[in-house]
């Protein structure tokens, strides 16, 4: 494993430093909305079992008319205004806004000396012990590791570590960059990222 280098704010392109924080907020909000399972469900009066027979005669009893015991006004009846099961929580975020959000998330980490660039992240042994030793050597709370292409051994080494998450370059987004305390990124990925800006 090669030596890690801490990125300084002066090394960042200007485009990383001129982003409004609201872009990051909007992206994270949209990302979290997209994760919603939308599985909340209740039975309305048509889904509740029973209630086929009219409870009492329409007229003459002195009571309000009723057509079914499964009406929402009766105990055991359907729910009147339950959660909608076909609601779409997705929120649109433009491509440009996604990029700006990522730039801001990275710039925030760089300002706190929490972005590390390394030539290559590779655990040839595939052992969690070796991956854990690498993560501990950084002395960070938790780490997002960005690799250009993940090989099988490195994936196996990192997959069971609680305070580290290994992703490929194309999976990097503003939400993950903001959520983790520190970022370790391969040099090739970092150069591509800063070159695109």
pLDDT digits (tens, 9 = 90+) for 18-55: 899 999 999 999 999 999 888 889 999 999 999 889 99
Q: Domain spanning 4-37+92-196: which CATH class is it, in words?
A: alpha beta
pLDDT tens digits, 139-163: 999 999 999 999 999 999 999 999 9
Instruction: Label the pairing between strands 182-186 and 143-147.
Output: parallel
Cα-based distances in Å from 57 to 67, 72, 196: 9, 19, 76
Domain(s) labelled CATH 3.40.1370.10 in the chain stretch across 4-37+92-196
Residue with tokens 């929580």: 89
Give this prediction's pTM.
0.79
157-173: burial string, b at 16+ Cβ within 10 Å, e else: bbeebeebbbeebeebb
Cα(58)–Cα(74) distance, integer angstroms = 17
């Amino acid at each position: 494993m090669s030596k890690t280098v801490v990125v300084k704010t002066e090394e960042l392109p200007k485009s990383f430093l001129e982003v409004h924080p609201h872009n990051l907020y909007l992206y994270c909000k949209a990302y979290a909305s997209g994760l919603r399972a939308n599985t909340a469900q209740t039975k309305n009066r048509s889904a509740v079992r029973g209630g086929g027979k009219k409870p009492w005669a329409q007229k003459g009893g002195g009571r309000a008319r009723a057509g079914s015991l499964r009406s929402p006004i009766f105990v055991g009846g359907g729910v009147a205004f339950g959660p909608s099961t076909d609601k779409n929580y997705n929120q649109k975020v433009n491509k440009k806004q996604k990029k700006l959000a990522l730039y801001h998330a990275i710039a925030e980490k760089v300002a706190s000396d929490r972005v590390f660039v390394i030539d290559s992240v590779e655990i040839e042994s595939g052992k969690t012990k070796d991956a854990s030793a690498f993560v501990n050597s950084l002395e960070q709370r938790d780490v997002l590791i960005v690799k250009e292409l993940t090989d099988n051994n490195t994936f196996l080494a990192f997959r069971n570590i609680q305070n580290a998450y290994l992703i490929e370059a194309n999976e990097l987004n503003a939400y993950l960059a903001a959520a983790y305390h520190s970022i370790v990124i391969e040099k090739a990925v970092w150069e591509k990222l800063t070159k695109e800006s």
